[in-house]
Structures are given as C-alpha cells and as structure tokens.
Amino acid sequence: MAGKIFVLRDSGELTELTQSQYSDEDLFQGLIEKHPEILAGDQINPDNPRKWLLISREMGVPAEQDGGFQWYLDHLFIDQDAIPTFVEVKRSTDTRIRREVVAQMLDYAAHAIQHWPIELIREAYEKNINENNSLSYMGIAPDNEDAFWQSVSVNLRAGRIRLMFVADVIPSALRQIIEYLNAQMVDTEVLGLEIKQFLSTDGSFIPVYVGKQRHQLCSVATWYKNTLIEIYFQYMKSPFNELEYRMKIKMELEKIPGVQIPDARLDKRPNFLVTCLNTDDSFAIFMGVMEMYIKDIKEHEAKQ
C-alpha cells in the first residue's frame, strides 16, 4: 500500500506527499548522480558511514582486454576506503528487476575487475570533479591520492567490490537473491536499496507528430522541484534512430547554453532543465530542432 508523508510549510499549510512510482529511469539515475548521499552510507556502516565519490554515470564495461565497451553500468562510485561500488538502478515496473538485473550486474562485475585499468577510472573521475565530488572532499590529502588510486586498483583486481541494486521497490525474489549472494560471497558485498519517491504534484505531456506513423518528439515533465525536457532518442523510428541522425540532433541541442547530452545517452531519454530555454534565443534553437525533425519525418514519409 502506498504511504503518505505530510510536510508543514512555513505558511502553516499542510501538504500531503503521496508515494509515487518513478516515471522514468533516467530521472531516477539522475537523482542518485546529483545526490549520492541517498545511497544510505550510514546504514551500510553505522560506525563509519560510507562516503561516495562519483566516478561516472554510464560507466563503460568492455567484454575483453583493450576492447570496446560492451555494457554500461548505471553508476560507479568509490567509497573512502577505496572500495569500488557498482550501482544498477531499476524501477519496480521494469520486469527485468527480478532476475535479469542480477545476471546483468554479475556480467559488469566479472568483466570490470579484469578489464578496467585504473587509468580509465581516474580519467572518468576527472571529468566529474566538482567541489562536492573530489578526493579532497572525501578527506583524501593530495599527497595520498596516488596511494588511494593504487588501493582502488588492488581492491578491484581482488574482487573487493560492492554491488548495489537500487529500486523504488525491491521484489521479494530479488531480495532473496541479494541475501543469498551476500551470505555466500567473501570479498564482494551485495546490497539492495529502496529509494521511494513522494510527490505533492506530478504532471507531464508529450508532443507527438502523427503522419504515417506516430512520432513522440520529447516530453516535458514535472519531477520533484524541477521541470525537465526529455529528448526521446529511445523511441525514434527508422531511419531517425540511426546514430548519425541522433548525433545531429544532439549537436543542434547543445547549441543551447546549459544543455549537454552524453554520447552514452543517445539511445535513451536524456534530459535538461526547462530553464535552459528561458531566453528567446535558446527557445528558438529548441523549436528549430523540433521543426527540423518534423520536416525530416514528412520528407521521409513522402518518399514511401
């Protein structure tokens, strides 16, 4: 049964927050990326709560030594004791949360401990450094940084890692597998974490162009305190789902100040704050991209 939380605002008004499912996995992942403290480090170790250093979201995992990336882990974190922490996020509505996600995570772990060079991890970390995500913020002095990364490498190769399954609701079948693995594994810690969402308002709309097929262009969604625009790369139909066309859309959108679309999100639903469109120029660029997309759809369908 969905729970409720009530917030007493400064005005004296009582606002009801209702438990709600995450409408989008990308938003769920973004919450963890921006607020890793919700990964319950104090529950993992109450005497020495875990601190989280984000290495990368969508961390590529190769299937062989020096090979290209075969999979992408949702998040890679490292704690203050240099333990790599693999985080895989699934919504409770995703049927893969029951068994497939376990095989998926074990694939990532088995190949990463063999094929991730420490240089790759350091390079990924350096792209995500900020005042709240750095070795110094974790309490690692500059003189100890090389030793810290060496410890990360040693732990990774030895399989001293943490596998964390995150969902809004973890089904009993997955919970039993997590408990079994955690009891049987010696060096690898396996954990499940529920992060529930409570909302006071929720709303979204999806602009659609209907020709010979129905094309979802994007969505505008209210989520927590922000309104986001999602680009629906995931639902593009042929031939617009080709990488070259998606790169074209990405490059045009990134002309908008504040909009960045990682290459790893080109087959998903990347998002940016609607406030990026606050200026006339930014809004014109965005509308120009949508108009270009619709024009291309019309031209393609006219040839069919």
For the chain, the straight-line distance linking the first and the last C-alpha, in angstroms and rounded, comes to 50
3-state SS class at 87: strand
Q: Does domain 22-197 have CATH number 3.40.50.300?
A: no
Q: For residue 133, give the nearest of 51, 193, 195, 59 by alpha carbon.
A: 51
For residue 29, the one-letter residue type is: Q
For the record, the structure tokens of 204 come out as: 């979204």
pLDDT, mean of residues 234-247:
93
Q: What is the DSSP letter of 130?
A: B
Helix and strand tally (H, E) in the chain?
A: 8, 14
> Does 37 or 226 have the greater pLDDT score?
37
In the chain, residues under CATH classification 3.40.1350.10 are 22-197
145-158 and 100-115 helices, crossing angle to 10°: 120
Q: Say how far apart CA 293 and CA 198 lie, in whole Å.
A: 35
170 CB-near residues (< 8 Å, 6+ apart): 92, 97, 178, 192, 193, 194
Q: For residue 246, give the nearest of 225, 261, 228 by alpha carbon.
A: 261
For residue 13, the one-letter residue type is: E
pLDDT, mean of residues 263-271:
91
pLDDT of 199-220, one tens digit each? 667 557 788 898 888 898 898 8
pLDDT of 29-75, one tens digit each? 888 998 899 999 999 999 999 999 999 999 999 988 888 899 999 99
